Amino acid sequence: MAVPGFEGFEKRLELHFFGDDPVSDMGLRLINMESLEKVLNAVQCTVVSSVGNQFFDAYVLSESSLFIYPTKIIIKTCGTTQLLKSIRPLIHYAFNLGLTLCSCRYTRGSFIFPKSQPSPHSSFKEEVIYLEETLPSNLCYRKASVMLSKLSNHNWHVFTAGDQEIPIDQTLFTIEVCMTELDRVLARKFFRRPDDDKNSDAAGQEMTELTGIDNIIPGAIICDFGFDPCGYSMNGIHDGDRYSTIHVTPEDGFSYASFECVGSIYDDMDEFSETLKKAVQVFRPATLSVSTTSSSHEVWTRVANAIEPLGFKCRSFAVDEFPAAGSVVFQTFTSRRKHAEHGGGRYIHWG
């Protein structure tokens, strides 16, 4: 079957482990490259670049990103990857390090090309069955839900599972932004020039600077990669154990970009709003969704306040509680530009 286009929407898996690491406090970071390659081989992607600090390792993948902390792994993959196939080998390698899985969170948006997804990702139902069968029985608190929006094709799929004995860290929050129909002029910046003889790292760095991505979180260490002929991925490391990540599929017709970052509920929320604004302005999409996983209401209330002044209108809001994750809030927005195109209002020029 001919592939209709690149699937930008990522699948995201976050696994937490517990146990005493007898060797050092490195935990999962001791999984060697050969074992990591076996995990990624099962998923159908490879490492293209990496960076690390004393707290964690961040890998740019051929299809998105991988973050490894001593007791936490976040793996996010797009295209037609089989992300859930990483769970069994990761549990195995963690077990060899004396670590046991205690929570799992799987999230994704609605695929642009759902029919192109291979098993076990052919539907959310199939994904949930696979998760139910693969996860160990100590993760007994489980919930799967599709959070709907008023926009067709913009729903949020969430599955979580947790161990009743192990509490989750209530202070951290995660923001996952999914943007479609990117501004065409801005999207062009993620295409390589036909005559450029740069390697992928240098091409990525050029895109980071040209688009202002380096300004979203000032001071972050950025590991970036420019795909050929187009496409971009970056991981940012900042404030010790924090990460941010951006992935871009700029092709017209199925353009997509994602921005994700973690924060603490004790952070300066004005700074958080600024970060979100800057990330959205890099792409000026026609449609975007923001999913917030947090124990605090303060975080999601800031989302609409940050995004609406950029010329967006909030179209839907959904909230749900999940074991081992906290509250997930899913908000969707469309640009007033798009609203106007559909006869709904006044045209607003981007500044």
Q: Residues in the site for ligand SAM, rule: CB under 6 A? A: 6, 8, 10, 62-64, 78-79, 227, 230-231, 233, 247-251, 256-258
At 181 the three-state DSSP class reads coil
Residue 63 assigned ligand-binding role:
yes
119 is known as an active-site residue = no
178 is known as an active-site residue = no
> CA geometry: angle at 185 spanning 179 and 187, to 5°?
40
* Closer residue to ligand SAM, CB minimum distance, 173 or 227: 227
233 is known as an active-site residue = yes
Of residues 16, 62, 65, 78, which has the active-site annotation?
A: 78
Q: How far apart are the first and last CA of the chain?
A: 42
Nearest of 260, 305, 307 to residue 284 by alpha carbon: 307
Decide: 336 and 348 in contact? Cβ < 8 Å.
Answer: yes
Work out how close the CB of 259 gets to ligand SAM at its nearest, in angstroms, rounded to a whole number: 10
Work out how close the CB of 225 gets to ligand SAM at its nearest, in angstroms, rounded to a whole number: 8
Of residues 116, 247, 258, 294, which has the active-site annotation?
A: 247
Decide: 228 and 186 in contact? Cβ < 8 Å.
Answer: no
**How far apart are the C-alpha atoms of 64 and 9, rounded to whole Å?**
10
Token readout for 247 is: 């992935």
291 is known as an active-site residue = no
DSSP-derived secondary structure letter, 167: -
Token readout for 162 is: 């947790």
Residue 260 assigned ligand-binding role:
no
* Closer residue to ligand SAM, CB minimum distance, 22 or 253: 253
* Closer residue to ligand SAM, CB minimum distance, 71 or 245: 245
State the number of CA atoms in the 13 A half-sphere of 190 facing the CB: 27
Of residues 233, 255, 294, 335, which has the active-site annotation?
A: 233
* Closer residue to ligand SAM, CB minimum distance, 83 or 102: 83
Closest chain position to ligand SAM (CB):
231
Which parts are annotated binding residues for substrate?
6, 63, 227, 251
Which parts are annotated binding residues?
6, 63, 227, 251
Residues involved in catalysis: 64, 78, 233, 247
